[in-house]
Amino acid sequence: MSDRLTRRAGTFLIGGTESHTSRSIPALLLPIIVVGAALALVPLWLGESRVFMGVAVLGLAFICYVIGFNVIFGGTGQLFLCVGALAGVGGFGATILADNAGWPILLSIIAATLAATLIGGLLSYVAVQRSLGVIFTGIVTLIFSLSFDALLLGLSYLTGGDTGRLIKSGTDTFLRERVPPYYLMLAIVLVFLLIHGLLRRSHIGWAFRALRDDEVAAELAGVDVARYRVYGALIGAAMLGLAGSTYAFTEGRISPTTFGFGHVDVVVLVMLAFGGIGTLLGPIIGAITFTIVDEILIDFGQLRQVAYGILIIVLFLWMPRGLIPTLGSLWLRLHGQKISDPAKSTDSVAGEQEAASGKAQSTE
Amino acid sequence: MTANILDGIVLGLQFGLLAAGLTLIYGLGGVLNLGYGQIAVISAMTVALAMDAGVPVLPAVGLGLLAGGLFGLLLDLTILRPVYRLHGEARVLLSLLLTLGVSFIVDGYLNWRYPLKSLSLYIGGGAIDILGVPMRRGSLVASAITLVTIAGLFVFFRSTSLGRAIRSVIEDEAGARLIGIDPKKMLRLILVLSGVLAALVALTRSMIAPVDTTSGLSITVFALIVTVVGGLGNFVGALLAGIILGIVSVVAADLIGSYISLIILLGAAAVTILIRPAGLLGVKE
């Protein structure tokens, strides 16, 4: 009896919302193509300068990090404070395999990505098994971050310690030219966007949304919360590992700060909070904005950190859904449209669609 | 070995006091203050600047303690107000994010304004033999101050009505309110107290090693680890965990080198969370 009830609740929860997103593949591809086309034009503008292309490649790497973090935190509500460390497993792992063990670059990237994936999955599996809440998951992953950092400093014969390591592999290839690395990273960004977009439309995406909105209800409705949490962490960690290892080869020099907690995790958190947690394009908007802001503030040195601190406070106090979704719903409100339940869904696109479908129903 | 254990106890007492400040706010208000280490740094910088300006040591130390307490009060009056409106995990999460922002502001400002400033309250005089081990005078004075503070906290929580009121809020907030205790006032008091404790740790630490503007993050991290191992919100657990981790850290550093000792420390914390999420002395819910 309870089994039947559960199953019916499951159809209600998962099948019931399906009518809202009758998004076809073209509707999914369109924003990704637009983003890709816009970003593809950047080298025409900055392509002459090696410095600015370096900044642009780093910006793309950050987009990848934010997408990966968004899948884990925005998708399944697991506060992974080891974004930099997982990317660093990719970056240091791949370059050590290529330089010290003589592996081909592609193979070492795959191996390091796999390692990051496994670590991310393991962290999530342990957190889920011990049913750690958001806070303890955050603390355990933070501990992993700090241990990784200590390990990097300790194993200085491999990692170069504080000064970092120069990467010999790929020196004379396209990876170190001015513009091609940009397009390589851009391709990765677009693949990540596509994966995230498809994920949101698949049963995994529905499960993510269900478990994030109400974990207990999702569990009762037959969603295997533990399994989907681990899925989310595996996918996100794979993205982080791949982005970190590819970025390391294009950069040619990495140090513990390249993947440090203050340099990556906090920035990624701000970028995602700014763009909108859980949204598809939020990571792009957040990462681009802050890459530019960071360049503008570069002369202010330590005061940049102050600016980040103020932004964290402002964003989480007044716009917990992200600046862009907040502005979006404000715009809709000004134009006399009502959003069905903005507080419940951090997903602005879904929110807008719900609003649209609600309106359509009321006019019928 | 005896030397290691004594050094470990010196470090562990400071760990314990550090964690006590963090754990009390969590137990009382469900607030995880990631700007905790920055309070310590602010007070250390206050003392250093006051001494530069010609203030004698003792009044300068008084100013430092005052600065720590005031910063705790400031947090309570400003960014923690919206936090208090939330409950449960959302409250912890928001407090964690907002105080992370505060820690960035403080760190960024201090590193920009006073980049090379550091505080070391050097205490001269020769070493003193304890159990056949020569101990530096600074370590002994620091430990004595820490021990007296811990004893004072025990007396405060066991024997004064204010201390009992605070404990009653930790145990049962609704019940405490029924008998006329205002949890908000108690929380404000504890934030001031935890600020003073952070300041005290910074000052005693500076008797052993210099405290500079970048020390904030590592102080917060150690406080967090010890707090978690001791059990969030558990005062006695924090002290016990502090001493154990202090000894582990010093012995491991001596036997196998300092970076592995940090990893062992972090690993111990992770294992404790996984085996006993409620902490060493925690009761399973």
Closest CA to B239 of B25, B38, B40, B9: B9
Residue A130: left if φ>0, alpha if ψ -120 to 50, beta else—which one? alpha
Stretch (H or E) spanning A153:
helix A134-154
* Residues of chain B with C-beta less than 8 angstroms from the C-beta of A151: 259, 263
- Render each residue's pLDDT in chain A as its tens digit; 364 residues: 344 333 333 333 333 333 344 456 777 888 899 999 999 998 888 878 888 899 999 999 999 999 999 999 988 989 999 999 999 999 999 999 999 999 999 999 999 999 999 999 999 999 998 888 888 898 899 999 999 998 998 888 888 888 888 888 888 888 888 889 999 999 999 999 999 999 988 888 888 888 887 888 888 888 888 899 999 999 999 999 999 999 999 998 999 999 988 889 988 988 998 888 888 888 999 999 989 988 888 888 778 888 888 988 988 888 767 777 777 777 777 776 544 444 444 444 444 443 444 333 333 3
pLDDT < 70 positions in chain B: 280-285
Is B182 within 8 Å of B50 (Cβ atoms)?
Answer: no
Structural domains present in chain A: 2-318 (1.10.3470), 325-364 (no CATH)
Is B31 within 8 Å of B203 (Cβ atoms)?
Answer: no
* Residues of chain A with C-beta less than 8 angstroms from the C-beta of B257: 154
* Residues of chain A with C-beta less than 8 angstroms from the C-beta of B37: none
Is B262 close to A130, i.e. CB distance below 8 A?
A: no
Burial label, A156 (beta-carbon count in 10 A; 0-12, 13-18, 19+): middle
* Residues of chain B with C-beta less than 8 angstroms from the C-beta of A266: 100, 104
Q: How far is A309 from chain B (nearest CA, A)?
A: 4
- CB-nearest partner of A301 from B79, B112, B274: B112
Q: Which residues of A touch B (CB under 8 A)?
A: 79, 126, 130, 132-136, 138-140, 142-144, 146-147, 150-151, 153-154, 262, 266, 269, 301-313, 316-317
> What pLDDT digit, counting tens, does each position of A154-183 carry?
888 888 888 888 888 888 888 888 889 999
Q: What is the pTM of this model?
A: 0.84
The one-letter code for the residue type at B30 is G
- CB-nearest partner of A303 from B92, B112, B221: B112
- CB-nearest partner of B228 from A139, A308, A316: A139
The one-letter code for the residue type at B193 is L
Is B221 within 8 Å of B40 (Cβ atoms)?
Answer: no
> What pLDDT digit, counting tens, does each position of A72-101 carry?
998 898 999 999 999 999 999 999 999 999
Q: Choose, out of A135, A148, A321, A346, the residue to mutate when testing the contact with B (most B CBs < 10 Å).
A: A135
The one-letter code for the residue type at B252 is A
Q: Which residues of B touch A (CB under 8 A)?
A: 32, 79, 82, 89, 92-94, 96-98, 100-109, 111-112, 115, 217, 221, 224-225, 228, 257, 259-260, 262-263, 266-267, 269-270, 273-274, 277
Give the CA-trace dihedral at A149, A152, A153, A155, to 10 degrees.
150
> What pLDDT digit, counting tens, does each position of B81-140 carry?
888 888 887 888 889 889 999 999 999 999 888 888 889 887 777 777 777 778 888 888
Is B15 within 8 Å of B32 (Cβ atoms)?
Answer: no
Q: Which residue of B has its CA nearest to A143?
A: B266
Q: Which residue of A has its CA nearest to B257?
A: A154
Structural domains present in chain B: 2-116+134-275 (1.10.3470)
* Residues of chain B with C-beta less than 8 angstroms from the C-beta of A153: 259
Q: Concatenated DSSP letters for B238-278?
A: HHHHHHHHHHHHHHHHHHH-HHHHHHHHHHHHHHHHHH-TT
For B53, list phi and psi in degrees, rounded to 5. -80, 0
Q: Which residue of A has its CA nearest to B277?
A: A132
